[in-house]
């Protein structure tokens, strides 16, 4: 079936950090022609409308911006009910709130209800692809994948592997973690739009035997993603050093077990040493920037400028990190990213922010041939954005003169209220 989406189209073909404004594609009155969920053509509406078959439905979103659906590179769906839990740093927060909540996901009905809410909230915020953590229970991943398949969203997800450092109701074993993960990979990886992410929580909650099992899974399934946490909190780093005294540093622990590579999404990366930066560069691993989580838990400030060091540049993705993070909105997340960088004398341009939420994260997840762009052949996930959605932003918009200023307004004051509509594979799945 052919349909079309009309509006002010915005997407990226390269990284603005290196290519500047030439990386951006912007059509004041553009048209996406969608066939069976795939972008068949993109261009000026005046050029493409006459060629559409008679009766083709056209969703006209002028004067709003239509961008590729947002991508979230690190988020915990079982933590929707611990967001905004008061007064703890990382390790206390896990014990006091998160581990208590995650035990409830042993109940399949609870997991299914959580998955429904989670995907509702992502789509309401314009996020159409995410890299998601479940709990230790295989049913948590099963529930998320099943709900994502029902909605047609592209999700990467995994059951957490965790065989120590948690309550009895939240631990598996090296053997069961391997076995359960293997079964989930065989059932879900590559099924429709679903992708498996091998997910040892972090080195504190996995024994050497379990990290070896996770590495074995990564070797057996090299097209799966790997996701974990690293160097978020100073107490965490000290505890890892005590558990793994033979390893030079935190990154070396993961590297020893084959978990640091081009398919590895390493959450946080706030306190990496010079040697760890060099190792990340050598392995082409991805550092995931979670600004609202890092400031909320008092963990530290992500140094994106250092990630661009020409001696050892490191790839970067951006993420909400719900529930340490405090907003499901990638717009609000990038607004906080701007502030985190500004505090360090760095800048985040509006183009770099929008690139990061779309094509940049697609590249980090290895999905840039599928999502994150409106180039023909890509899956047509899209978000419709209204920069004047609230009285305050509408008033500010009266003084906006350029697309760059409008994008900056969206990332500084925007949130779920700016999302007028969300499309998945060309189908309307959310309308404000």
Answer yes or no: are the C-beta atoms of 79 and 101 closer than 8 Å. Answer: yes
Mapping DSSP to helix (H, G, I), strand (E, B) and coil, where does residue 419 land?
Answer: strand
Answer yes or no: are the C-beta atoms of 427 and 152 closer than 8 Å. Answer: yes
> Mind listing the domains of the chain with CATH numbers?
2-69+373-431 (2.30.40.10), 70-328 (3.20.20.140)
Residues in the chain: 432
CA pseudo-torsion sign 211, 215, 220, 224 = positive
Query: Tokens standing for 51?
Result: 């060629």
pLDDT tens digits, residue range 45-63? 999 999 999 999 999 999 9
Answer yes or no: are the C-beta atoms of 134 and 114 closer than 8 Å. Answer: no
Eight-class DSSP state of 50: G
Query: Tokens standing for 377?
Result: 């052949």
* DSSP per-residue string spanning 176-200: HHHHHHHHHHHHHTTSTTEEEEEEE
pLDDT tens digits, residue range 275-322? 999 999 999 999 999 999 999 999 999 999 999 999 999 999 999 999
User: Closest by alpha carbon to 200, among 179, 238, 229, 239?
Assistant: 229
Share of residues in the chain with pLDDT > 90 (%): 99
Q: Which helix (H) or strand (E) holds 32?
A: strand 24-35
pLDDT score recorded for residue 37: 98
Q: Any idea what the Cα angle at residue 60 is, between residues 57 and 64, rounded to 5°?
A: 155
CA distance 382 to 53: 22
pLDDT score recorded for residue 275: 97
Residues 178-194: what's their mean pLDDT? 98
Query: Tokens standing for 261?
Result: 């590579």
User: Closest by alpha carbon to 280, among 327, 230, 238?
Assistant: 230
Going by their DSSP bridges, the two strands 70-76 and 419-424 should be labelled as unpaired
CA atoms within 13 A on the CB side of 311: 7
pLDDT tens digits, residue range 213-238? 999 999 999 999 999 999 999 999 99
pLDDT tens digits, residue range 118-139? 999 999 999 999 999 999 999 9
Report the DSSP beta bridge partners of residue 39.
34
| CA 365 from centre of chain | 9
* Confidence at 340, pLDDT banded by 50, 70, 90: very high
* Confidence at 267, pLDDT banded by 50, 70, 90: very high
Eight-class DSSP state of 418: G
pLDDT tens digits, residue range 134-161? 999 999 999 999 999 999 999 999 999 9
* Confidence at 388, pLDDT banded by 50, 70, 90: very high
209: CB partners within 8 A, 6+ apart: 163, 174
Residues 182-198: what's their mean pLDDT? 98
pLDDT score recorded for residue 88: 82
232: CB partners within 8 A, 6+ apart: 90, 267, 268, 270, 294, 297, 299, 300
pLDDT score recorded for residue 322: 98
Alpha-carbon torsion, ordered 321, 325, 328, 334, to 10 deg: -90
pLDDT score recorded for residue 5: 98
260: left (phi over 0), alpha (psi -120 to 50) or beta: beta
CA distance 39 to 380: 6
Is the pLDDT reported for residue 87 higher than 90?
A: no
Answer yes or no: are the C-beta atoms of 71 and 358 closer than 8 Å. Answer: yes
Please give the biggest Cα pair distance in the chain.
Answer: 70
CA distance 345 to 323: 28
Answer yes or no: are the C-beta atoms of 103 and 45 closer than 8 Å. Answer: no
CA distance 360 to 371: 10
pLDDT score recorded for residue 164: 97
Answer yes or no: are the C-beta atoms of 325 and 298 closer than 8 Å. Answer: no
CA distance 66 to 384: 5
Q: What is the mean pLDDT of the chain?
A: 97
CB atoms within 10 A of CB 54: 4
CA pseudo-torsion sign 109, 155, 323, 120 = negative
376: CB partners within 8 A, 6+ apart: 38, 39, 40, 41, 42
Query: Tokens standing for 159?
Result: 């059951």
């Amino acid at each position: 079936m052919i349909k079309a989406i009309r509006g002010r189209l915005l997407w990226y073909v390269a990284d603005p950090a290196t290519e500047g404004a030439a990386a951006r594609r912007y059509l004041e009155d553009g048209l996406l022609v969608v066939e069976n969920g795939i972008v068949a053509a993109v261009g000026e509406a005046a050029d493409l409308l006459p060629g559409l078959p008679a009766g083709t439905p056209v969703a006209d979103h002028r004067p709003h911006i239509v961008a590729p659906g947002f991508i979230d590179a690190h988020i915990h769906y079982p933590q929707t009910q611990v967001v905004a839990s008061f007064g703890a740093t990382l390790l206390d927060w896990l014990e006091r709130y998160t581990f208590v909540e995650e035990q409830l996901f042993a109940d399949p009905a609870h997991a299914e209800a959580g998955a429904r809410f989670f995907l509702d909230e992502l789509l309401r915020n314009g996020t159409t692809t995410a890299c998601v953590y479940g709990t230790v229970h295989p049913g948590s991943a099963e529930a998320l994948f099943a709900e994502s398949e029902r909605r047609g969203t592209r999700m990467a997800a995994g059951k957490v592997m965790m065989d120590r450092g948690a309550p009895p109701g939240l631990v598996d074993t090296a053997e069961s973690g391997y076995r359960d993960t293997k079964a989930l990979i065989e059932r879900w990886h590559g099924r429709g739009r679903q992708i498996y992410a091998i997910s040892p929580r972090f080195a504190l909650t996995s024994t050497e035997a379990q990290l070896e099992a996770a590495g074995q899974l990564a070797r057996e399934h090299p097209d799966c993603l790997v996701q974990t946490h690293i160097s978020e909190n100073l107490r965490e780093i000290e505890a890892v050093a005590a558990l793994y005294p033979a390893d030079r540093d935190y990154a070396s622990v993961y590297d020893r077990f084959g978990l640091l590579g081009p398919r590895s999404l390493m959450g946080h990366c706030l306190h990496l040493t010079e040697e760890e930066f060099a190792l990340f560069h050598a392995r082409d691993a991805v550092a995931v920037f979670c600004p609202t989580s890092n400031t909320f838990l008092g963990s530290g400030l992500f140094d994106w400028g250092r990630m661009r060091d020409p001696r050892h540049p490191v790839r970067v993705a951006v993420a909400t990190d719900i529930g340490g993070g405090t907003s499901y909105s990638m717009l609000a997340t990038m607004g906080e990213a701007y502030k985190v960088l500004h505090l360090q004398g760095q800048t985040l341009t509006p183009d770099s922010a929008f690139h990061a939420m779309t094509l940049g994260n697609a590249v980090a997840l290895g999905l840039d041939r599928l999502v994150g762009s409106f180039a023909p052949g890509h899956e047509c996930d899209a978000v419709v954005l209204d920069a004047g959605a609230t009285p305050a932003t509408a008033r500010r918009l009266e003084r906006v003169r350029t697309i760059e200023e409008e994008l900056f307004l969206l990332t500084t004051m925007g949130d779920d209220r700016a999302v007028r509509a969300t499309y998945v594979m060309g189908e309307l799945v959310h309308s404000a």
